[in-house]
Amino acid sequence: MSQVYAAFKSIGAYAPKNVLTNQDLEKMVDTSNEWIIKRTGIKERRIADKDEVTSDMGAKASELAIKRAQIKKEEIDLILCATVTPDYFNMPSTACIIANKLGIANVQAFDISAACSGFVYALSIAKAFVESGMKKNVLVIGAEKFSSIVDYTDRTTCILFGDGAGAAIISATSDKEEAIIDINASANGAYWDYLITPSPGSVNPASKEAIEQGLQYVKMRGNETFKLAVKTLTQDVKDILEKNSIKANEIDHFIPHQANYRIIKAVGDALGMSEEQVVLTIHKYGNTSAASIPMAINELYESGGLKYKELMLLDTFGGGLTWASALIPFAGKANG
């Protein structure tokens, strides 16, 4: 029997229509457009409507990815949704709700909680399921309504995050040249309190007191996270490139997690990546957590800049702290 590999067949994304600009934020908190651009590179981010939830965005991104993979919905045998802003804490999973919205029944579906690293974590699970022969077509989603856990009176966090979703189809192939080369996902729980939503949860169940203290909002040790992110992201890429004997200049598209332009620049420079190699969406979407990387891949794809078998290098970090990198040739047809 020939060896089965996992191929990244297609990408799709969805960004809500409402734009929240730096100028809008100037009216809400003590900040300025200049400060936000200089410290983060963000100019605007998208915010979902009140009645537009994580699963709605995930389902829209999925519809596109399924169409572009040219498969039928019924052929999908696993749905993974990476999110830290699920429709419900903690049942049912957002993956189950998306499956229902897509009209797919009788399919294994579950959520992944790895914050901003969630999409790449989910890709590693999809790869393992496909390579083992257990599944043939996996729908991998990163979807976040981050605005639902952001405190819009806290200037240290509200400037950073936005809403959106991205999705990909990972399918079985016998063509080794199409195969996902490697995914390295890891974590260090020693930094568990760097990024945290303290409630609801078993430590702080939902209560009037918890809400009065604002424990339902994301809290971040920004400066410490920044320093750790630069170090971790750089080392992570060095490791995966060395392990697979690939040089930085052989990468067609470096697609880092879009958290802060200064982090991306520092990592890109340390790795010797040229400006043309680095994919940037931070200015228009901010940090969309698990949706960040698939949204960036989708931008590249829709601009016509992603061709068959071009090599993508993904690199991400997030709450946990978690991090992950991946070497993936694009196994779909170019757009246009």
Catalytic residues: 116, 257, 287
Q: Encoding tokens for residue 254?
A: 């470096």
- Considering the rule CB under 6 A, would residue 155 count as an interface residue with ligand COA? yes
Nearer to ligand COA, 194 or 254 (CB): 194
- Considering the rule CB under 6 A, would residue 39 count as an interface residue with ligand COA? yes
- Considering the rule CB under 6 A, would residue 261 count as an interface residue with ligand COA? no
Q: Does residue 53 contact residue 87 with C-beta atoms inside 8 Å?
A: yes
- Considering the rule CB under 6 A, would residue 278 count as an interface residue with ligand COA? no
- Considering the rule CB under 6 A, would residue 164 count as an interface residue with ligand COA? no
CB atoms within 10 A of CB 180: 23
CB atoms within 10 A of CB 301: 23
Nearer to ligand COA, 8 or 317 (CB): 317
Minimum distance, C-beta of residue 118 to ligand COA, in the bound complex (Å): 10
Cα-Cα-Cα-Cα dihedral sign, residues 328, 329, 333, 336:
positive
Residues 285-324 that bind ligand COA (CB under 6 A): 287, 318
Residue 50 phi, psi (nearest 5): -55, -40
Nearer to ligand COA, 10 or 117 (CB): 117
Which single residue is written with the structure tokens 């240290």? 156
- Considering the rule CB under 6 A, would residue 85 count as an interface residue with ligand COA? no
- Considering the rule CB under 6 A, would residue 197 count as an interface residue with ligand COA? no
Binding ligand COA (rule: CB under 6 A), the pick from 22, 40, 232, 288 is: 40
- Considering the rule CB under 6 A, would residue 259 count as an interface residue with ligand COA? yes
- Considering the rule CB under 6 A, would residue 191 count as an interface residue with ligand COA? no
Nearer to ligand COA, 21 or 156 (CB): 156
Binding ligand COA (rule: CB under 6 A), the pick from 4, 19, 21, 35 is: 35
Minimum distance, C-beta of residue 224 to ligand COA, in the bound complex (Å): 8
Ranges of beta strands (E only) in 72-203 are: 78-82, 108-112, 137-145, 163-173, 182-187, 195-196
- Considering the rule CB under 6 A, would residue 156 count as an interface residue with ligand COA? yes
H or E element, residue 8:
strand 5-14
* 158: DSSP letter: T
CA distances from 141 to 12, 81, 82 (A): 9, 5, 6
The helix/strand/coil state of 265 is helix
Minimum distance, C-beta of residue 287 to ligand COA, in the bound complex (Å): 6
Distance CA 157, CA 40 (A): 11
Distance CA 60, CA 13 (A): 7
Task: Give the alpha-carbon dihedral of 24, 30, 36, 42, to 10 degrees.
Answer: -30
Nearer to ligand COA, 192 or 308 (CB): 192
Contacts with ligand COA by CB under 6 A: the residue count is 19
Residues near ligand COA, by CB under 6 A: 31, 35, 39-40, 116, 155-156, 159, 195, 220, 222-223, 225-226, 229, 259-260, 287, 318
